[in-house]
């Protein structure tokens, strides 16, 4: 095998698709529907086009910045991990740093245009989404910090519409924390041996795979219950609650795939089921607030 050709092959094609693969842009679909759902509830189903566009811009820019920061923080680790060994070939470190500054500045600028509260809270939000990337160095609870990073999305969307934080986005944020921590526990089973060898911290390393999968199940039960609580505090109705069995089915599918310990199956179920959960949530909120 001609190994010298590998870096060149990784850089074939346009730069933009490579950068999008580097930051897993397709995974934006996980958090975005929860932000839009919170925005719809806060705006009684009819947010202004300006607010909607600014929320979308903030979501994409903040997540892109967070993923770029994560890639830079794990640059050398990713090269040693067989699962991610070619990730650094998608873009240079210099490019990643430049894009990190651009996305961060863009997020802060877009938030400043929304309202004063959003402008004041934007640096805090950025610090939270960046902080997750270093937690694996010192705590086993890294999965919950990832959940917190994604839970910023509905809170930020609510602030964009109302200018203040209230109970509905906080309840929804707790559901997001439980959901993300649960699926991240499942996803982290792929790196169990690598993380243990490198001395990285996670509950999967601490508890082992069987107990981690069991904890993930309980976290998704908590997420499911909290979605019902969100429906109550947001005063949603039959359309919203009628979609809950679909979310339960998607979570069961994900856990069934995880129980088989098939890495390809885990990756497939990870994207399909979680994308389905977030899409169904948004559709349920949309149907209810427009009823």
Concatenate the DSSP letters of all residues of 25-37 into one string. Answer: GGGHHHHHHHHHH
User: Where in the chain are the domains?
Assistant: 11-289
DSSP 91: S
Q: At what angle do helices 142-162 and 28-42 cross, to 10 degrees?
A: 40
- For position 263, what pLDDT does the model report? 65
- For position 4, what pLDDT does the model report? 39
Kindly tell me if the per-residue pLDDT of 24 is higher than 70. yes
Q: How much is the average pLDDT of 216-236? A: 97
Question: 0.75 exceeded by the pTM?
Answer: yes
Q: How much is the average pLDDT of 174-194? A: 92
Q: 3-state DSSP call for residue 199?
A: coil
Residue 145 CA to residue 154 CA, distance in Å, equals 16
Kindly tell me if the per-residue pLDDT of 153 is higher than 80. yes
Residue 173 CA to residue 98 CA, distance in Å, equals 31
- For position 10, what pLDDT does the model report? 46
CATH number for the domain whose boundaries are 11-289: 1.10.357.140
Which range among 64-73, 198-207, 264-273 shows the weakest confidence by mean pLDDT?
A: 264-273
Kindly tell me if the per-residue pLDDT of 262 is higher than 70. no
Nearest to 74 by CA among 52, 93, 57: 93
- For position 11, what pLDDT does the model report? 47
Contacts of 254 (CB under 8 A, 6+ apart): 183, 186, 220, 269, 270, 273, 274
Kindly tell me if the per-residue pLDDT of 136 is higher than 60. yes
- For position 1, what pLDDT does the model report? 37
Nearest to 89 by CA among 170, 180, 187, 15: 15
Residue 12 CA to residue 45 CA, distance in Å, equals 44
Confidence of residue 88 (pLDDT cuts 50, 70, 90): confident
Q: Can you read off the two tokens belonging to residue 92?
A: 């240079």
Kindly tell me if the per-residue pLDDT of 35 is higher than 50. yes
Q: How much is the average pLDDT of 77-104? A: 89
Q: How much is the average pLDDT of 5-34? A: 72
Which range among 10-14, 162-166, 203-207 shows the weakest confidence by mean pLDDT?
A: 10-14
């Amino acid at each position: 095998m001609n190994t010298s050709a590998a870096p060149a092959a990784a850089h074939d094609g346009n730069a933009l698709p490579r950068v999008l693969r580097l930051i897993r842009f397709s995974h934006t679909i996980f958090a975005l529907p929860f932000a839009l759902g919170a925005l719809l509830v806060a705006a009684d189903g009819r947010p202004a086009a300006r607010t909607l566009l600014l929320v979308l811009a903030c979501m994409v820019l903040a997540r892109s910045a967070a993923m770029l920061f994560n890639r830079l923080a794990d640059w050398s680790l990713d090269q040693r991990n067989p699962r991610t060994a070619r990730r650094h070939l998608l873009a240079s470190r210099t490019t990643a740093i430049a894009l990190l500054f651009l996305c961060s500045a863009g997020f802060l600028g877009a938030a400043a245009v929304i309202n004063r509260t959003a402008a004041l809270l934007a640096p805090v939000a950025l610090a939270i989404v960046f902080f997750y990337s270093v937690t694996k160095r010192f705590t086993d609870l890294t999965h919950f910090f990832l959940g917190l990073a994604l839970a910023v999305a509905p809170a930020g969307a609510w602030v964009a519409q109302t200018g203040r934080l209230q109970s509905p986005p906080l309840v929804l944020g707790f559901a997001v924390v439980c959901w993300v921590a649960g699926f991240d526990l499942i996803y982290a089973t792929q790196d169990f041996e690598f993380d243990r060898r490198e001395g990285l911290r996670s509950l999967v390393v601490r508890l082992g795979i069987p107990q981690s999968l069991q904890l993930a199940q309980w976290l998704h039960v908590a997420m499911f219950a909290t979605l019902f609580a969100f429906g109550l505090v947001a005063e949603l109705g039959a359309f919203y609650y009628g979609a809950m069995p679909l979310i339960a089915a998607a979570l069961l599918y994900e856990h069934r795939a995880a129980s088989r310990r098939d890495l390809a199956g885990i990756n497939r179920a990870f994207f399909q089921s979680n994308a389905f959960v977030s899409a169904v949530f948004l559709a349920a909120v949309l149907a209810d607030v427009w009823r």
